[in-house]
Amino acid sequence: MAKAAAMKPPASKGSFNAPQPVKNQIKKHDDYTSDGVEDNDVFLLPISDYQVMAVLTVLGAIVRLFRIYQPTSVVFDEVHFGGFASKYIKGRFFMDVHPPLAKMLIALFGWLAGFNGDFDFKDIGKDYLEPGVPYVAMRLFPAVCGILLVPAMFLTLKAVGCRTATAALGASLIIFENGLLTQARLILLDSPLVLATGFTALAFSSFTNQHELGPDKAFSASWWFWLVMTGLGLGITVSIKWVGFFTIAWVGLLTLVQLWVLLGDTKTVTIRIFAKHFMARTFCLIIIPTTFYMAMFAIHFLCLVNPGDGDGFMSSEFQATLNNKGMRDVPVDVAFGSRVTIRHVNTQGGYLHSHPLMYPGGSQQQQITLYPHKDDNNIWLLENQTQPLDHSGVEINGTEAWDNLPEPVYIKNGDVIRLYHQPTDRRLHSHDVRPPVTEADWQNEVSAYGYEGFPGDANDLFRIEIIKKQSIGSLGKERLRTIQTKFKLVHIMTGCVLFSHKVKLPEWASEQQEVTCAKGGTLPNSVWYVEYNEHPQLGDNAEKVNYVHPGFLGKFWELQKVMWRTNAGLVESHAWDSRPDSWPILRRGINFWGKNHRQIYLIGNPVVWWSSSLAVIVYVLFKGIAVLRWQRSCNDYANPTFKRFDYEIGSSVLGWALHYFPFYLMQRQLFLHHYFPALFFAVMAFSQIYDFATARLPVRSVRENPIINKSGAVAILALSAIVFALLSPLSYGNAWTKAECNRVKLFETWDWDCNNFLESYDAYDKLGQGAAAKVAQTSQPVVKSNAAPPPPPPAQQQQQQQPVGENKNLPNGDGGAAGISGAPKFEPQGQKVLAREERIEYRDQDGNLLNEEQVKELEGKVEFRTKYETRTRVVDAAGNNVPMPDGGWAGQAVAPPHPDVEGAESKTDRKEAVQAEEPDQAQEKVVKSRDGEKEAQKDKPKPASEGNEATAQKV
C-alpha cells in the first residue's frame, strides 16, 4: 500500500483531490540533504494551486477595497504619514523615527493621483473632500500591500510543504483578520511592513527548501534567486520600519544553523565549497540589504532639499546642506567687538536668544531663551570687561569702541567678556534668583539687564573656558574661533555655567527653550560655539571658515543616531497604548476614529489571534516534551515526520518570538499594531500544525483521506469569517446598532463605546436625510431662562484648563462628547445650558477602569494627562439631556494620534505644536522676532519646530 501511494504521479502533489505521497520509506542521505524534504518550488505548482491562489487574492481585494473611501476624513496616524507625503512633495525636510521607503511610496501614489502637497493632514477628522485630496489613491498603496499578503501567505505555506487546503486556510485567515484589514485601508505603514515581512518569509522558506535538497541544488538558478530575494526582502523590510531588524535576526539565526550543518558535512562540503556558501550568504544577506537601506535614504535626501520642521533635530552641518540654510564664509577669528551668534551644542544647535518680553516672575527682567531659527535677536556683541583706551590712555565709551582700534584684539581662553544684546540694548546677566521653570537650588536665572548707555554691573561678566578636547586645530584650542572652538561661559560672580536643556518655557515665552546658569550642570548641556561672526576690522582678506559638508555618509549616520534617540524618547503614556503581554490574547485595541455615530477601532479577529497563540503554546509544549525524551535517549528524531515537525514549526515560532519578545525590552510607547509581524508567523505556525495534524501524521486514515484536511479547513474558515463579519463595522466604519455592538463586546477591555451607535439602522437613514435634526428641535423645548450656567467645580476647571498632548474628542451617543480633556467646548443650538456634568475615567495601559483609590495611589507616580477620557452630559433647565445634533457638537473631533513620529517633551504643552501650520517657503528663509513680533503673534502660523518638535527629544 505504501509503495502504491508513493508511485502516484507528481502532478497530483498539492491539489485538493489528491493526497500527499506516503513517506514511510524515506531514503537516508550521507550528505547535508534533509530527510523527508521534497522540492516545493512555488514556480512549479500545479495550475490548480495558482487558480486557488488567484481566487483568494481576488477575495482579499474585495475585502480590502470595499468602501476604501470611507471615512472621508483624516484617521489616526494619517495625521503623520499623510503629512509626510505632503512634505515629500514640497521637498521640506522632516524627522521621523521610521525609515523612508513606505512613506515615499505613499507620497508617490498621492503625487501620481495629482496631489500637490497643500493639504496638511494636521487634525484627525479633517475633511478630505472639500480640498480635493486624492486620499483614496494614497490609501490604495497600503491596501495593495494588504491584498498581496494573501498570496504571500499561500505561497509560503506551499514552500514549506503544506497541502493546498492548508495554504488556502492560512491565506483566508489573513483575509478575514480585522486588524490587518483596518491597517490596510488607511495611510499607515504597518500593511507594507507586514507584506515585506511575508515576502521575506516566502523567499527564505523557498531558499531553505532548495538548500535542504542537498548539494545537487546548491548554487543553482533557483537557489540563487531565492537567496537574492531574501536579501532584497530584508532590505525592504528594514527600510520601512526598524522592526525589520527582527526579521534580519530570524534569517540570520536560521542561516547560522544552515552553515553549521554544512560545516558538519565533511564528505561533500570542502573548505572551498563552504567558503562559497559563506560568501554567497554574506553578499546576499548583508551587502544587498545594507545597500538597499542606504539607497532609500539617498533618495530621501534627494527629495527633502528644503528647510522644514525637522531641521532642529539635526546638526548645524546637516542643516547647512538644505536650501537657504547654507551659511556664507565668515571670519574665523573672534575679537572684542565681534557681532556673533552663539549656538548650543547638545540640543541640536538652538541659538542664544533674547527678545523684548519680561519674565512674569523672579527678577522680571528680560527673557533669555534658546531659539531654533536664524533671527536678528540672536546677535550679540562681545565686549571686554573694561572699555578700551585710546592713544592718550583715555577710556573709549560706547558699544562700538572696539571697531576702530589699530588692530583687532582676539578673545583668548580665560578672557572675561560681556555679551551685549544689540536689538534691546541689554547685556546677558545672571544672579542668585531661581529660573522660572526649573526652580532648582543649583540653577540660577539668566536674563538680559540694562538699557542704552548703561555701563553694566559685575553680574554681566562671564569667563571664556575653551574645551580643548572638542575644539578643532591648535589655534581653536587657544583662542575663540568661529565654529572650531567649543567653550563654556562661566559666570564670574556665582561660578555657575551658562546652561540649556530640553525644558520649554510656557506660552509667555512662546514655548522657547529655557536657558539657565547651572552650578553643577553636565558638560554636554554647557557647551557652546560661535556660528556667525562679523567685525569691521575683519575684512575680505581675513581667514574665513564655514561648516564642513558632511556628505552622504555623514548625513546618513547622523540621521540614524537622531532616529534612535527620538525613538527611545517616546516614553510618555498614551490613551490607547498597551504592553506586549496583552497582545497575543487581544486584550484591547486602538480607537482610530469616530464621527456621526460611527467608529473605527483597531481590533483583531479573536479566532485568528487565539488560535495562532494556541499554536505557539502547542509547539512550546511539544518542544519541552521532545527535549525530555531526547535526554532519556528516546529516538524520536529518527522519525523524519517528527524531525520535520520540529524544524518547520520551530522556524515559524522562532520568527514569532523574535518579532514579539524584544518589545518587552522597550520602554517606549507600544501599540497593538506592533504585534502584526509576529501575528504573521503565528498564523504560519498554526497552519503548519494543522497540516501535520490532518495530512502528514503517519496515520493511514489521516494521510490518505484528504477530506479531513479540507473539512477542518472549511470549518475554521467559516468560523473566522463569521467573527470577521460581526466585527467588520469597526473596521470599515459602517453603521452599527447599540444592541449588535454590545452583543459582540465580550470583554470590558475591548473599550470601544457602544453608546456611540444608534438604536437601529433606520435611525441612520433618518440621520442621513437630516430628519434627526428636526426631531431634536421638536422633542426638546427651548429654554427661555437667561440664567448663566454655573461654573464647573474647581476640579473640573483644573481638568478643563490642563494642557494635554492631544486635543481630540471621542463621540458619545448619549448626547455628550467623550474625549480627551482639553477638547473645545460646544454650545447646543437653541438651548440655554444649565450645567455640564463631567465624568472622568482613568484607565491603565490595558484599558482597565481605575477606581478612586487606585487613582490616589498612582498620583505622583504616573502621568495622567493622556490617560483619561472625559464624558460630558449637557442638561437644560428642565433637567433633560440635550441631544447631540447631526454630525456631533461643534468642535467635536476624534481619537488621538500616537506620537510615534516626532516625539514629545513631557514638560511641554504640545497643543500649539499639534495645531501649528507650516509657513510659506519664502517665510522659512528667516523667521523674524524683532521687537517681540514673533512672540506677540501667537495666532499666526509658525514652524512645527517652534511648537517644540524640533527640540523635543531628550538626549
| pLDDT score recorded for residue 872 | 45
| pLDDT score recorded for residue 840 | 61
Is 763 part of any domain?
Answer: no
Of 71, 240, 92, 194, nearest to 139 by C-alpha is: 71
The domain tally of the chain equals 2
pLDDT in tens, 779-797: 333 333 333 444 444 333 3
Report whether pLDDT(943) > 80.
no
Q: What share of the chain is helix, strand, coil (3-state, %, to 5)?
A: 45, 15, 45
In this prediction the pTM is 0.76
Nine-digit cell string for 36: 523527508
What distance in Å separates the CA atoms of residue 503 and residue 909, rounded to the nearest whole number? 11
- DSSP-based three-state secondary structure for 244: helix
Average pLDDT, integer, range 444-472? 91
Residue with cell 520601512: 240
Long-range contacts of 732-740 (CB under 8 A, 24+ apart): 732/66, 732/67, 732/70, 732/185, 732/600, 733/67, 733/70, 733/71, 733/593, 733/598, 733/599, 733/600, 734/67, 734/70, 734/598, 735/597, 735/598, 735/761, 735/764, 736/598, 736/599, 737/761, 738/813
Q: Are 308 and 918 in contact (CB under 8 A)?
A: yes
Q: Are residues 292 and 407 in the same domain?
A: no
Is 30 part of any domain?
Answer: no
Residue with cell 504560519: 684
pLDDT in tens, 487-514: 999 999 999 999 998 888 999 998 899 9
Nine-digit cell string for 165: 487546503
Q: Are residues 660 and 593 in the same domain?
A: yes
Report whether pLDDT(832) > 70.
no
pLDDT in tens, 272-290: 999 999 999 999 999 999 9
What distance in Å separates the CA atoms of residue 211 and residue 213, rounded to the nearest whole number? 5
- DSSP-based three-state secondary structure for 5: helix
Q: Are residues 296 and 332 in the same domain?
A: no
Q: Are 770 and 884 in contact (CB under 8 A)?
A: no
Q: Are residues 442 and 372 in the same domain?
A: yes
DSSP 286: I
Residue with cell 546618513: 556
HEC profile for 567-579? HHCCCCCCCCCCC
Q: Are residues 519 and 621 in the same domain?
A: no
Is 905 part of any domain?
Answer: no
Q: Which is more confident, 863 or 522?
A: 522
Q: Are residues 362 and 492 in the same domain?
A: yes
CATH code where residue 525 lies = 2.80.10.50
Is 797 part of any domain?
Answer: no
514 beta partners: 369
Q: Are 856 and 760 in contact (CB under 8 A)?
A: no
Q: Which is more confident, 29 or 415?
A: 415
What distance in Å separates the CA atoms of residue 945 and residue 954, rounded to the nearest whole number? 15
Average pLDDT, integer, range 375-385? 92
What distance in Å separates the CA atoms of residue 410 and residue 331, rounded to the nearest whole number? 12
Average pLDDT, integer, range 184-191? 94
Q: Are residues 504 and 386 in the same domain?
A: yes
HEC profile for 39-79? CCCHHHCCHHHHHHHHHHHHHHHHHHHCCCCCCCECCCCHH
What distance in Å separates the CA atoms of residue 447 and residue 369, rounded to the nearest whole number? 9
Is 595 part of any domain?
Answer: yes
Cβ atoms within 10 Å, residue 763 = 17
What is the rounded end-to-end Cα distance, in angstroms, of the chain? 71
| pLDDT score recorded for residue 326 | 79
DSSP 11: G
| pLDDT score recorded for residue 274 | 95
Is 710 part of any domain?
Answer: yes
Is 251 part of any domain?
Answer: yes
What distance in Å separates the CA atoms of residue 81 and residue 927, rounded to the nearest whole number? 26
Angle at 335 between CA 332 and CA 336, to 5 degrees: 155
Q: Is 364 left (phi over 0), alpha (psi -120 to 50) or beta?
A: left
H helices present in 304-398, as ranges: 316-319
Q: Are 177 and 226 in contact (CB under 8 A)?
A: no
Report whether pLDDT(19) > 80.
no
Q: Are residues 168 and 294 in the same domain?
A: yes
CA distances from 249 to 255, 521, 655, 707, 810 (A): 10, 40, 9, 39, 40
CA distances from 687 to 316, 675, 678, 683 (A): 53, 18, 14, 6
Q: What is the mean pLDDT of the chain?
A: 81
Whether cis (ω within 30° of 0) applies to the bond prior to 71 is yes
Report whether pLDDT(806) > 60.
no
DSSP string, 646-687: HHHHHHHHHHHHHTTGGGGG--S---GGGGHHHHHHHHHHHH
Q: Are residues 269 and 368 in the same domain?
A: no
The H or E element containing residue 614 is: helix 606-631
Is 244 part of any domain?
Answer: yes
Q: Are residues 53 and 188 in the same domain?
A: yes
Q: Find the Cα–Cα–Cα–Cα dihedral 852, 854, 856, 857, rounded to 10°.
A: 170
| pLDDT score recorded for residue 713 | 93
DSSP string, 383-450: EESS--B-TTSPBPPSTTGGGGSSS--B-BTT-EEEEEETTTTEEEEE-S---SS---TTEEEEEEE-
Average pLDDT, integer, range 679-696? 94
What distance in Å separates the CA atoms of residue 49 and residue 151, rounded to the nearest whole number? 11
Q: Are residues 80 and 162 in the same domain?
A: yes
Q: Pick the range with the lowest mean pLDDT from 377-391, 683-697, 850-864.
A: 850-864
Q: Which amino acid is at 212?
A: E
Of 552, 445, 570, 438, nearest to 505 by C-alpha is: 438
| pLDDT score recorded for residue 802 | 33
H helices present in 692-849, as ranges: 700-703, 706-732, 738-744, 761-768, 771-779, 794-801
Structural domain that includes position 390: 328-546
Nine-digit cell string for 419: 555679551
- Look at the chain and count its residues: 955
Q: Are residues 539 and 661 in the same domain?
A: no
What is the separation of C-alpha 741 from the centre of its chain, rounded to a whole number of angstroms? 31
